Structures are given as C-alpha cells and as structure tokens.
C-alpha cells in the first residue's frame, strides 16, 4: 500500500514546505502553514483533463490576428456598469470581495435578477445558504425572475455539470472559499482548493463565453482570503467598501482588464436592498456644518467622475511627548508631509499639536489634488478661523510650498457650479485653456500662503 504524503502550505501566499514552520519564508506571516495531503498524479491528470484535451493552437503574428470589439452587456445599474468599465464582458471572471455583511450577496442577487429580467439565463450557486434561505432573501429584495435559477452546491464537479446542462449566460459563485474539488485532498478554502477551483471556473468562462462572478471572503486585514494568485487569475477584482453602521457602500475596482481601475460606484443600503446613488456629492455634503473651523470642501476625481467631499481637521495642543497624527480616509504620511510644509514655509508652530483628519462619508481619497484642501483645513483649525462655506479648494502641494497643477480641472469646476458653490481655489497653472462657467469665481494661487490669504485672510 502506497504511503500518503503530506505537505504544509501557507494560506496567504501558497508557499509549500515538507515540514511545519511557524513563520512562512515566502510572505513572513505567522501561523499560516497548514497541513495538506499531497496530490497524486492521477488527481492532477483529472483536474486538467479538459485543458489538455483542447486543440493545440500555433502561435500567430499579432498583425495577423483579427481585431474585434466585444459587445458588452449593460445592467440596469449605471454604477455597476461604470465600475466594470462600461458593462459586463462575456467570458470574463469577476471577483468581488468585502467585509462580512457589507452587501456582496445582496448586490449579486439583485444584479442576477435584473439580468434575468432581460431574458438572460442566470445560475446563482450558493455554497453558504440553502435554496430556501436564498428564496427568503430574494423575497425581501423583491426578486421575481423566471430565468434566475438557484442551486445550493459546493462540489465543483456537480457545479460544472449544472453549468454544462443549463448553458447559462451568467453564473454567480457565492463563495469561492466554500467550493471544493474532489480530486484535491485539502479542505475547502485552502490554497490548493481555491487555486484549482478558480482555474476550472476560468476555463469554463473562457471556453463557453459565460460571465462568472465569484465572491471572495476577506481576512481581518482586509485582503481577499486565499493565495494572492487568485487576484492575478481573474479578469476583474472589485472591493465592496463601507461601514456596516452606515447606509452607504462604495464599489471600487482594483484590477480590471477591460476598463479603468479608478472608477467608483456608490450605493445606499435600504430595506429593499441596494439602491444606486446618482449624485454622491450631495450625499457627502448634506450634513456639513456651516461656519465650522477646520471644515473645507475639495473636488476629487474618482475615475471620470468628479466628487465633492468634506475634509475635516481638528488641531489641539498635545499632552504627550510626541504629538499624535491620525487620519481617516487620507494617507497618514501625506498629512505629516503637509504639516511639515505649513510649519516650514508658512510659519505655523504645529510640532506641539495633535492632528486629527477625517473625510466625511467614509470616502477614501488618494490623489495629490487634495493636498491644498488638507493644508487649508489644518490651518483653519489651528487658527480657529472658518473658511467660507461656498468655497471649493483644489491643488497639489510641493515641498517648497508651491501649488502645482491638477488634471481634469474643468470637470471639477463644473461639479462645484452644479452644487451651488460660488468660488473655487485652483492652481495658477490651471488657469487658461478652458472656459470658466457662469456663476462661479475662479481664483488661481501659486503658493500655500497665497491660498491661506484668500480663504482665511492671512
């Protein structure tokens, strides 16, 4: 009788070892090595029989390949279409991750119903709920579509049989960590299972032209559970962000082979499910207090969409040896850099002050165009002088205190005009080359000190 071999695999990066180790040499994580059974040659042959049986193609010159435009399938949700790059591409494999209870299953069940209402055959495979539990959630969301089929299964071979017999247009796998391949001896959710199951689903999607959505669990650090290879294998990676205690959810693309990764979709969680937010700027500014020191409005670009959000800063004397620097929604290191510029170039004594910054609404801003707004909000709180409630501030700040140009300035100004703002502070280099719309005063500044002169009077 042959001896069964075992190995130890890291659940974070997939590193394999013949013996257990407390720290993974591949990624440096602790206590991530899990014992798994070694795969036999017969199991590997069975797992890849479909790929080896396919017809071998010869290499072609790129100039000889016919260029075709793949038509996209538009969903009734404009926010989802924007994040996907303009709609769903047939044969694509899309991975959606997010915290537990954030609304991943709700979003996919609603999207499945919307696609089924347009005479598309959709197969929703649930590995975490029974068909009756899925039906209860569908009744709560008001889902009634004849072409939406629900199947509760975790065995990959049975799932592939169901796909082969039904030939659906779309497939939803909820979730990939619950699916297992019978030929792989490790437990569901392990590195080997997630890798093999995703590879089989990718082969089915590409060979049959079926768009497949898979849900991925996340770790406590916020990354998608399983090997990093999972994100490399799929075509699109979407993250569903937001706090469960707030009603707004943000769908953001971090990888997209068919579109931009800078797009963002905003939804609101209600009793009847997720509803798209068509004008997020109004949502983020509706609770803004008027005349409060440290509060400014910045025009940020999320892909091709301008969004006006409120930046809040609180500067207070420290009671510790080292002052605290806390930031929510903006980069902590960038805040420290801007405070150093204010202290060196403007003369503000901030080395003995605690600084707390927050972006209202739970949005994360990571573009350089918010630098000037961060500087003005810190100076406003430090001087206890409020800026005008009708001002919008845009600009990148350099280490010498200069204000540098930003991209898409015309779209930012148009969004400010639409929401009724009367003045916008922009970099001086962005003046000219475009028409200033009526109803707003555009002021160009070249330094941070000049911007503070206009907004705070000194």
Query: What would the pLDDT profile of 40-59 be if each residue is shown by its tens digit?
Result: 544 444 444 444 445 677 89
Asked if residue 102 belongs to a known ligand binding site, the reply is yes
Asked if residue 100 belongs to a known ligand binding site, the reply is yes
Query: What would the pLDDT profile of 340-391 be if each residue is shown by its tens digit?
Result: 999 999 999 999 999 999 998 778 898 999 999 999 999 999 999 999 999 9
Asked if residue 99 belongs to a known ligand binding site, the reply is yes
Domain boundaries 283-456, CATH class: alpha beta
For residue 48, the model assigns a pLDDT of: 40
Asked if residue 101 belongs to a known ligand binding site, the reply is yes
* CA distances to 297, 349, 422 from 406, in Å: 16, 28, 20
One DSSP character per residue, 89-156 reads ETT-EEEEEE-TTSSHHHHHHHHHHHHHHTT--EEEEESSS-HHHHHHHHHHHT---TTEEEEE--BH
Q: What strand order describes the sheet that includes 248-256?
A: 148-152, 122-126, 170-174, 211-216, 93-98, 236-241, 248-256, 264-270, 273-276
For residue 401, the model assigns a pLDDT of: 95
For residue 163, the model assigns a pLDDT of: 95
Query: What would the pLDDT profile of 409-447 be if each residue is shown by its tens digit?
Result: 999 999 999 999 999 999 999 998 899 999 899 999 999
Q: Are 10 and 186 in contact (CB under 8 A)?
A: no
> CA 305, CA 77: separation in Å to the nearest integer?
16
For residue 366, the model assigns a pLDDT of: 87
Tell me if domain 72-278 and domain 283-456 are identical in fold: no
Asked if residue 371 belongs to a known ligand binding site, the reply is no
Most confident of 217-231, 242-256, 389-403: 389-403
Domain boundaries 72-278, CATH class: alpha beta
Angle value at C-alpha 363, between 361 and 365, nearest 5 degrees: 140
pLDDT mean over 261-267: 84
| In the chain, where the domains are located | 6-38, 72-278, 283-456
CA atoms within 13 A on the CB side of 144: 3
Mean of per-residue pLDDT scores for the chain:
88
pLDDT mean over 225-247: 80
Percent of the chain's residues with pLDDT above 90: 56
Most confident of 49-53, 65-69, 395-399: 395-399
Q: In sequence order, which residues have a C-beta less than 8 Å from that of residue 104 and are 6 or more positions away? A: 96, 97, 98, 174, 215, 240
Q: Are 211 and 94 in contact (CB under 8 A)?
A: yes
Query: What would the pLDDT profile of 277-332 be if each residue is shown by its tens digit?
Result: 888 888 888 888 888 899 999 999 987 889 999 999 999 999 888 899 999 999 99
For residue 40, the model assigns a pLDDT of: 52
> CA 300, CA 307: separation in Å to the nearest integer?
5
Query: What would the pLDDT profile of 130-168 be if each residue is shown by its tens digit?
Result: 999 999 999 999 988 899 999 999 999 999 999 999 999
pLDDT mean over 105-113: 94
Q: In sequence order, which residues have a C-beta less than 8 Å from that of residue 152 and are 6 or more positions away? A: 125, 126, 127, 129, 130, 131, 134
Asked if residue 105 belongs to a known ligand binding site, the reply is yes
For residue 407, the model assigns a pLDDT of: 92
> CA 127, CA 147: separation in Å to the nearest integer?
20
């Amino acid at each position: 009788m042959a001896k069964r071999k075992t190995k130890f695999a890291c659940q974070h990066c997939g590193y394999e070892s013949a013996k257990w180790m407390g720290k993974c040499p591949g990624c440096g994580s602790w206590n991530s090595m899990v014992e798994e059974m070694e795969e036999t040659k017969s199991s590997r042959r069975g797992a890849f029989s479909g790929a080896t049986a396919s017809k071998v193609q010869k290499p072609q010159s790129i100039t000889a390949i016919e260029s075709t435009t793949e038509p996209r399938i538009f969903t009734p949700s404009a926010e989802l279409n924007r994040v996907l790059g303009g709609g769903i591409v047939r044969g694509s494999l899309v991975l959606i991750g997010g915290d537990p209870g954030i609304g991943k299953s709700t979003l996919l069940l609603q999207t499945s119903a919307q696609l089924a209402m347009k005479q598309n055959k959709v197969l929703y495979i649930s590995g975490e709920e029974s068909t009756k539990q899925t039906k209860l959630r569908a009744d709560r969301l008001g889902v009634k579509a004849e072409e939406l089929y629900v199947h509760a299964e975790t065995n990959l071979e049975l799932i592939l049989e169901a796909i082969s017999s039904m030939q659906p247009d779309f497939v939803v796998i909820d979730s990939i960590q619950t699916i297992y391949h019978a030929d792989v001896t490790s437990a569901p959710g392990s590195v080997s299972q997630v890798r093999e199951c995703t590879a089989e689903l990718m082969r089915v999607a590409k060979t049959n032209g079926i768009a497949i959505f898979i849900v991925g669990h996340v770790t406590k650090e916020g990354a998608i559970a399983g090997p990093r290879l999972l994100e490399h294998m799929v075509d699109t990676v979407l993250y569903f962000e937001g706090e469960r205690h707030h009603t707004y959810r943000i769908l953001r693309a971090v990888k997209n082979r068919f579109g931009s990764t800078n797009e963002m979709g905003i939804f609101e969680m209600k009793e009847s499910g997720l509803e798209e937010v068509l004008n997020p700027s109004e949502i983020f500014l509706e609770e803004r207090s008027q005349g409060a020191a440290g509060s400014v409005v910045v025009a940020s670009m999320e892909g091709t969409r301008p969004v006006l959000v409120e930046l809040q800063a609180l500067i207070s004397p420290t009671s510790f040896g080292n002052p605290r620097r806390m930031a929510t929604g903006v980069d902590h290191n960038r805040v420290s850099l801007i405070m150093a510029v204010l202290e060196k170039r403007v003369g503000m004594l901030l080395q003995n002050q605690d600084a707390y910054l927050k972006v209202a609404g739970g949005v994360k801003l990571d573009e350089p165009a918010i630098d000037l707004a961060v500087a003005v909000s810190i100076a406003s709180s430090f001087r206890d002088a409020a800026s005008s409630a009708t001002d919008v501030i845009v600009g990148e700040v350099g280490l010498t205190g200069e204000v540098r140009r930003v991209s898409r300035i015309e779209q930012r100004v148009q969004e400010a005009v639409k929401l009724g703002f009367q003045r916008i502070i922009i970099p001086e280099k962005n003046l000219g080359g475009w028409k200033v719309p009526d109803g707003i005063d555009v002021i160009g500044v070249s330094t941070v000190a000049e911007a503070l002169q206009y907004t705070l009077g000194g």
